[in-house]
Structure formats: C-alpha cells, structure tokens
Structure 1
C-alpha cells in the first residue's frame, strides 16, 4: 500500500503532508499533557521498531503479490490512535530512507491512509465492539481499519487520476480484504496473549 513518489501531483501531496503534520502536532500536544509521558514514549519507540521490522517482511499470498502486515492496528489497540499515527510516520520514514519503500513526497499520503484513517478507524471499531467480545473487537478493529485505509487510498488515487475506479476496486480491494482477515486473526492471538501475560498493558494510558 506504500505509494511511491511521482503518482500524486505535488499540490495534492502537500495537502496530505499538512494533514500529517497537524495530527503529529496534536500527538505532541496530548503527550505533553499526560503524566505517563516517559512510559508512552518508551512503548511507542518499542512498537515503532517492531512495526518497521515486521511490516518490511514479505509473506507469500495466493494472489501472487506478497503480503506486508501493517501492525498499525495492533499499535492502536495497545497505545491509542495518535500513537498509531506517530508510529506509522516513523515507520514509513525509516522504510523510505533505508529500504526504498514508498517516497518522500508521497509520505504524507501514506500516513493519511495507513496512519490517520487506519488508526482512527481501528480505534473506534475496536471501542464500539469491545463490550460485545474481546476477540470480535480486536478482529473488527483490525479488519475495518485496513478496509477503511484501502478505501481512502482508492479515493486518493482517483483524485490523482492514476487509474479508474473499476481498476482500483478490482486490484486493491480483494487483496486487502484478504490481508484484513489474516491480520485480524493474527492480532486476536497476539493481543489476547499480551493482555494475558502482561495485564498491566491493558491499562496503559492511550493517546
């Protein structure tokens, strides 16, 4: 889902960068107001490192295109949506600089899709279903976060005039439906295991 440089007109890329900077500024403001600042910074740094490594690993898929897990929904469920956006930004920046994934002008658009939209969609779907069942809430949060990010990327590419709606729906949506199911199942096992082994993490302040 990493968009490279050159796909999006610069004026559109600038808008996505402005949105990204605004949300990162909100994160810094919220962080400055919390009493658990150091703990949040440490947890965010650890999960950012995990996300950079884990999301860079290619996993074979039946579609013939390798899967890269997002990890962002896991970060959101543990640390909150603004932390998810921050981890996404750090991850995409490092992956661009050292792995050649994505781009610098397109980084804002990538953060909007896989950072802002994915994080807040995951968070609210997770919270909405949390009272029903833990497994359902983790799966639905992860799945819907990925689907909403996919829809957002389709819209961004349509606005940029890169491809038609029919082509984007036929190529992106089926693949990321599959990814959403796989990552949703994985997150159920990982997050429930984390909460079982480290129950205090379920009570960490989120931002």
Structure 2
C-alpha cells in the first residue's frame, strides 16, 4: 500500500502530512503509558518484524503496491499508541533508505498504515475481545479478526484519498475494486500471521502482550478471591 510521490496532489499530501504529524504527536504521549522496562524491548522487535513483513510487496494498480501492514499485530502486542510509532518508524526508514513509498507521500503512508491500520485493528480487537470469553486463548483469535478488518479498511481509506486528490489517469471505481479485492486477500494472510504470532507470544509470555493485560488482571482478581476465601 506504499503510495509513491506524485500519486496524490499537493493539497491532499499536505493534509495527510498534517494528520500524520498530529497522530504521531498523540502517539508519543500515549506510548508513555504503554511502555515499561519489560515491554520497551518488545517494541523494537515488533518494528523489526513489521519491517520484514512489509518488504514482501504485491503490485496492485497504477503504481501502488500491497503488503502486510502489521498495525493490528503491533497494537495487540505493544499497545495502539506504540504501534503507531513502530509502523511510522518503519515507513520512515523505508522511504529514506529503500525508496519504498515517496518522501512527499510519507504523511499519506503514515496516515493509512500506521494510524488507520493500527487504530482500526485495535478497536476491532477490543470489540471482539469484549464478546469472547475472558481467556488468554481468545486473545489471538481477536487479534486475527482485527488484522483481517484493518487491511481492507486502510485500502478503502486510500481510495477515498485518491478520489479527493488522485493524479493518476485511473477511475476511482477501478482503484477501489483493485485495492479492496487485493487487500481482502492480504488481510486474510495478515490475520493468519497475526493470530500465529500473538498466539505464540501469549502462550510463552502473556505478560508481554498488551492486549492480554485485561485478561490477566481478571485472572489475578479471581486468584486473590479464591485465596481470601
């Protein structure tokens, strides 16, 4: 989903740049509440994993590409604010050193993949988690659903930006069809990867999974009640 330079007009690129800057600023403040001495190293590992996953690109339409986003995975593992920062750093490195996504389109890519991908993935995860049994085994399935939904939603968001300020001689309907169809498939793959990774980490170190904290807190309260009785 890396958007190249010149694919969106200047006003749209500037607007997404402002949104991206504001989103990263909010994430910087919010990440202070999510990170501690144990989870900070996890953020680095998550950024590395997302970087590797995004290196596998699939051509979609009119110069755009599709790949794993990693926002939902990062949000569940290290928290939504930290996830925005992790994915943003990955996108910055890719744009500066690997020519993957344009410099002028960096704000657009951060908005779509770091902000939309992470926030939507997290909100869907929390929504699914709220209706599933409060067990650690349910964290991975909820994360998988969040990943599945976040990818095509980001694709739709890109299409909306293209409809506003797209410069390529391609009809918006064509872009929407190509982006959504491809990213539904990519979303399925991302759901599988996210579910497996979150499940593996949760099975070994659930205390390091941000999305499992609410479940762990519930279990702690139950243990204390039993001990008190």
Q: TM-score, normalised by structure 2?
A: 0.79
Aligned residue in 2 for 1:94: 93
How far apart in 1 are the matches of 2:192 and 2:69? 13
Matched, 1:178 2:185: yes
Unaligned segments of structure 1, at least 5 residues = none
Provide the alpha-carbon RMSD of the alignment. Answer: 2.6
Spell out the pairing of 1:60-75 with structure 2 (5 A cutoff): 68-75=67-74
Equivalent position of 2:209 in the other structure: 202
Q: Is the Cα–Cα contact under 8 Å of residues 148 and 188 in structure 2 kept in the other structure? A: yes
Asked if structure 2 preserves the Cα contact closer than 8 Å seen for 1:76 and 1:84, the reply is yes
Moved more, 93-102 or 43-52: 43-52
Q: Which moved more, 1:87-96 or 1:49-58?
A: 49-58
Quick one: distance in 2 between partners of 1:72 and 1:201?
Answer: 17
For 1:51-108, what per-residue CA distance to the aligned partner results, in whole angstroms no more than 9, with x for missing partners? 1123213579xxxx98632222210111122212111211111111221100111010
Deviation at 1:184, TM superposition (A): 0.5
How has the CA–CA distance of structure 1 residues 121 and 201 changed in structure 2, closer, same or farther, with 3 Å as cutoff? same
Quick check: 1:139 aligned with 2:139? no
Q: Distance in 1 between matches of 2:210 and 2:179?
A: 36
Q: Is residue 44–residue 79 contact of structure 1 (8 Å, CA) maintained in 2? A: yes
**Is residue 27–residue 81 contact of structure 2 (8 Å, CA) maintained in 1?**
yes
Structure 1 residue 140, shift from structure 2 partner? 1.4
Paired with 1:172 and 1:36, the residues of 2 have a C-alpha distance of 34
Aligned to 2:209, the other structure's residue is in SS state helix
1:11 maps to which residue?
11
Measured at CA, do residues 90 and 38 of structure 1 come closer, stay the same or move farther in structure 2, by a change above 3 Å? Answer: same
Structure exhibiting the larger radius of gyration computed from Cα positions: 2
SS in structure 1 opposite 2:192?
A: helix
C-alpha contact (below 8 Å) 2:122/2:146 kept by paired residues? yes
In structure 1, C-alpha distance between the alignment counterparts of 2:65 and 2:28, rounded to whole Å: 35
Gaps of 5+ in 2: 214-229
Deviations 1:114-156 (A, max 9, x none): 1111111100110011142625412210011111101101101
The number of aligned residues is 202
**Worse-matched range after superposition: 101-110 or 78-87:** 78-87
CA distances 1:160-201 after superposition (whole Å, capped 9, x unpaired): 134322211221111101011111122112211110011211
Q: Report if the CA contact (8 A) 1:31-1:37 is conserved.
A: no
CA contact (8 A) 2:84 2:114 kept: yes
Moved more, 195-204 or 6-15: 195-204
